[in-house]
């Protein structure tokens, strides 16, 4: 299929009310869960739950934080698949249930709305201020990206907003009810922007063919690959250098390992389409998360 054919397919109207093929009841839940982008959904949920546990929250509060973040991430993932149904089908994304015809776009859209509604009372368990920040991150971050900003040069902004809200959500709740340190917010925001580069990198050609021209698509795969590593490495540097107290030997070993991974990912001899730059960016992101978690308290 040529890019022009893909673009015509994408521009054809796709109704959320078109019936899909019959799906056995025993497979519906598994199909729906596969459509929520389970890997990033679970990764973000586990990251924030660990932050809550290491920030002094009690077991009940930790569970509440994890449940609220999970609901928010589920809503973002299902919203993404519902909105991108036409583009994913035109790009031949058989890994996505909606594009493969195993799940109706309407079902994904309804699941997204339900998860967002459930996210509200779960977030309120952490207090009004914390809930306001978290819901702002979910809506102004994930939903705004899916519905509008994905196709603009401002596409990294929702990722920065959404990830920056997460440590704020943790610390504004009990027991501290305080704003986190600036380095925790900036580190999370950089991790979010880095995640945007990494997520967009494998799909740049298909995105351009279906009319998506966010910042990664405009910059191209080479710049996107380098920016993903630089952004993640900046997150490691900030969380290593700026928090009060010394990072200690483990912290500096972690930072050195991140630098080595970034160097491996940016060597010019990697052939086009190599997965090693992508893997290097994931490794640097993981080391940044380890550094952030090792800091314990996020409050100055």
Residue 8 confidence (pLDDT) = 44
pLDDT at 116 over 80: yes
Using one digit for the tens of pLDDT, what is the confidence trace for 237-289? 898 888 877 667 788 888 888 888 877 766 555 455 556 666 777 788 888 88
Compute the average pLDDT of residues 52-78.
Answer: 94
231 Cβ partners below 8 Å, 6+ apart?
A: 190, 193, 194, 197
Residue 56 confidence (pLDDT) = 84
Residue 275 confidence (pLDDT) = 61
216 Cβ partners below 8 Å, 6+ apart?
A: 155, 196, 197, 200, 201, 204, 224
Burial (CB count <10 Å: 0-12, 13-18, 19+), residue 111: buried
Using one digit for the tens of pLDDT, what is the confidence trace for 189-238? 999 998 899 888 888 888 998 889 999 999 998 898 889 888 988 988 89
Residue 19 confidence (pLDDT) = 46
pLDDT at 144 over 50: yes
In the chain, where the domains are located = 2-6+25-179, 181-300
- Per the CB < 8 A criterion, the answer to whether 200 and 217 are in contact is yes
Using one digit for the tens of pLDDT, what is the confidence trace for 79-98? 999 999 888 888 788 788 88
pLDDT at 72 over 90: yes
Closest C-alpha to 280, from 265, 290, 296, 295: 265
**CATH homologous superfamily, domain 181-300:** UbiA prenyltransferase (1.20.120.1780)
Considering the segment(s) 2-6+25-179 as one domain, its CATH architecture is Orthogonal Bundle (1.10)
- Band the pLDDT of 178: cuts 50, 70, 90: very high
For 266, other C-beta atoms within 10 Å of its C-beta total: 17
pLDDT, mean over the chain? 84
pLDDT at 25 over 70: no
Residue 81 confidence (pLDDT) = 92
Distance CA 163, CA 287 (A): 16
pLDDT at 156 over 80: yes
Residue 6 confidence (pLDDT) = 46
- Per the CB < 8 A criterion, the answer to whether 216 and 197 are in contact is yes
Tokens of 110: 């309804």
Residue 49 confidence (pLDDT) = 93
Compute the average pLDDT of residues 158-184.
Answer: 94
Is the backbone of residue 56 left (phi > 0), alpha (psi -120 to 50) or beta?
A: left
Tokens of 200: 């967009």
Residue 16 confidence (pLDDT) = 44
Residue 74 confidence (pLDDT) = 97
């Amino acid at each position: 299929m040529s890019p022009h054919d893909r673009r015509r397919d994408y521009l054809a109207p796709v109704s959320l009310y078109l019936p899909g093929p019959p799906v056995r009841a025993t497979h519906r839940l598994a199909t729906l869960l596969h459509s929520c982008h389970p890997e990033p959904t679970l990764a973000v949920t586990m990251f924030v739950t660990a932050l809550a546990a290491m920030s002094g929250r009690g077991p009940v509060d930790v569970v509440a934080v994890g449940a609220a973040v999970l609901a928010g991430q589920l809503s973002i993932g299902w919203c993404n698949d519902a909105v991108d149904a036409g583009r994913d089908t035109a790009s031949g994304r058989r890994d996505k249930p909606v594009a493969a015809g195993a799940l109706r776009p309407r079902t994904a859209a309804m699941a997204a709305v339900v998860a967002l509604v459930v996210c509200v009372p779960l977030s309120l368990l952490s207090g009004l201020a914390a809930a306001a920040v978290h819901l702002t991150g979910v809506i102004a971050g994930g939903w705004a990206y899916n519905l509008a900003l994905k196709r603009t040069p401002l596409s990294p902004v929702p990722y920065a907003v959404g990830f920056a809200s997460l440590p704020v959500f943790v610390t504004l709740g009990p027991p501290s009810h305080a704003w986190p340190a600036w380095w925790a917010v900036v580190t999370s925001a950089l991790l979010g922007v880095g995640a945007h580069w990494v997520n967009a990198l494998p799909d740049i050609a298909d995105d351009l063919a279906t009319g998506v021209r966010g910042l990664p698509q405009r910059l191209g795969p080479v710049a996107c690959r380098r920016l993903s590593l630089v952004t993640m490495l900046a997150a490691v540097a900030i969380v290593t250098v700026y928090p009060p107290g010394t990072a200690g030997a483990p912290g500096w070993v972690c930072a050195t390992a991140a630098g080595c991974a970034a160097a491996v990912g940016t060597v010019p001899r990697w052939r086009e389409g190599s997965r090693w730059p992508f893997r290097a960016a994931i490794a640097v992101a993981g080391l940044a998360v380890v550094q952030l978690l090792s800091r314990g308290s996020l409050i100055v």
